[in-house]
Chain A
Amino acid sequence: MLVEFCKWLGGTPVSQVIQDVEWIIPVVQTIHILCLAVVLSSVAMVNARLLGVGGTRVSVAEMTQRFLPWIWWAVLLMACTGIILIAGEPPRSLRNTAFQLKMLLLATALTQTFLFQRSVRRNSVRHNRQTAAVSLALWGGVAIFGRLIAYMTPDS
């Protein structure tokens, strides 16, 4: 079914345009990486504060207010640019183990970030160090498997 879907998506006019216009993929990938920079750095700032190794002059609440909105907006933009990249070459990602693992880690990271944000709002943040370690591992994994998509291309 996935094979059929990839074939169908790859044959749509939108996919054809992405494949034919040479500059679309590099430009979209550049935007995708710039958003990754925003996400990883924001995640690093919040988690450094939770670990107590940075930003200790401000509260966890202020750090969260400053950086979580940037994470959500950048992730939204990454979803848009990511969809364009998938549409341009569906089997490269959809049938790729690295991509599938990335999506699994991303879903977990987003859930964890959402739950963390809720606990900050309710003023009930606990287990700071464990929360930070889990968050760093999840987002790091998203970045690692994202890069590895290029190296684990499945046979068409």
Chain B
Amino acid sequence: MLWIKTLARQIETTPLGTAISQSAWMFPTIETVHVIAIALVVGSIAILDLRLIGLSWTRRPVSEIADEILPWTWTAFTVAALTGALMFVSAASKYAVNPPFLIKMALMALAGLNMAVFHHVSFPRAALWDARPPAAARLAGALSLLFWIGIVACGRLIGFTIQ
């Protein structure tokens, strides 16, 4: 795993990496934007997840809520990913060996996989079940909620464990 350490070291010594780690205001600013962006990702995806599970806004069809919300979720996710990448670049070798960070990335991969399966298996037939999602779609909603709660928890833990 030596190559990971070498690579991480190269990343954090780039001009961008050192600029962020040496500035007093850049990291707090990036982190604040990251927190707001991830709050919007998690909150907006939860609106859809809760609808899929059948816990809220059940008088509206799932596809209508998805159309309305997902573009905002993706915009917020892009901001969260960019700011997250900037924080990573500022201290790559610390993040690369930080367990909560690694678990967070794994949970994001699982959340992505869950979403991909939902979009290819259940969602194309949404017209047939728009008012009452089938078990597979409800499960996708529940898993998504769990993954994102885990992602937030691991994100917060990074702050306590990185050094």
Contact = CB atoms under 8 A, between A and B. Distances in A.
Interface residues of B, number: 27
B56 A41 contact: no
A140 B36 contact: yes
Given A29-B156, A41-B39, A144 B44 contact: no
Interface stretch (B8-16, B27-35, B135-143): B27-35
A66 B35 contact: no
Contacts, number: 74
Given A58-B60, A140-B36, A40 B156 contact: no
A36 interface: yes
B152 A30 contact: yes
Nearest to A74: B43
B92 interface: no
Given A44-B72, A57-B64, A147-B32, A37 B156 contact: no
A55 B57 CA distance: 13
A148 B152 contact: no
Q: Is the interface of B mostly helix, strand, loop or mixed?
A: helix
**Majority SS of interface residues in chain A?**
helix
B156 A33 contact: yes
B68 A54 contact: yes
A66 B57 contact: yes
Interface residues of A, number: 29
B40 interface: yes
A23 B68 CA distance: 38
Interface of A: 25-27, 29-30, 33-34, 36-42, 44-45, 48, 54-55, 57-58, 66, 140, 143-144, 147-148, 150-151
Interface of B: 28, 31-32, 35-36, 38-44, 46-47, 56-57, 60, 64, 68, 72, 149, 152-153, 156-157, 159-160
